[in-house]
């Protein structure tokens, strides 16, 4: 009877061991699947990280171009404003000179009229 009980216990132990071995194989298979998924996720993460770095480099390059363009535009605007100011000053000086020239022209015309009048009187006096 003890021998039968021992055999039953050994049989139960073998079943427990077999069951444990099956569970270990199942866990190992699940671990392999999870490891594969983890490796795929890490690979995708590496690709994503690389793409992010490339996008960052493109953004930096675009920002540099934008900054350079902005500086050129600002310099051009400043240059135009400076030229515009100088042009306005030139126009003001030219307008003053024009006014002065108009006054000189009127004075010269008046002088010419006086000279013409004197010449006529001189001719009349000389003719008599």
> For each of the chain's 128 residues, which pLDDT tens digit applies?
889 999 999 999 999 999 999 999 999 999 999 999 999 999 999 999 999 999 999 999 999 999 999 999 999 999 999 999 999 999 999 999 999 999 999 999 999 999 999 999 999 998 87
- Cα→Cα distances 112→85, 106, 109, 127, Å: 40, 10, 5, 22
Q: How far is CA 105 from CA 100, 109, 120, in A?
A: 8, 6, 22
Backbone φ and ψ for 116, nearest 5 degrees, come out as -60, -45
CA distance 83 to 75: 12
C-alpha 72/C-alpha 67 separation (Å) is: 9
Q: Half-sphere exposure of 82 toward its Cβ, with a 13 Å CA cutoff?
A: 6
Structure tokens at 107: 């004075």
């Amino acid at each position: 009877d003890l021998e039968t009980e021992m055999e039953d216990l050994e049989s139960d132990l073998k079943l427990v061991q077999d069951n444990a071995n099956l569970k270990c194989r199942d866990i190992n298979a699940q671990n392999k699947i999870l490891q594969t998924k983890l490796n795929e996720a890490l690979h995708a993460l590496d690709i994503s990280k690389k793409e992010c770095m490339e996008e960052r480099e493109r953004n930096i390059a675009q920002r540099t171009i934008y900054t350079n363009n902005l500086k050129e535009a600002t310099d051009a605007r400043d240059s135009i404003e400076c030229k515009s100011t100088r042009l306005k000053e030139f126009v003001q000086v030219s307008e003053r000179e024009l006014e002065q020239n108009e006054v000189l022209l009127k004075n010269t015309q008046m002088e010419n009229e006086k000279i013409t009048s004197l010449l006529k009187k001189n001719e009349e006096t000389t003719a008599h």
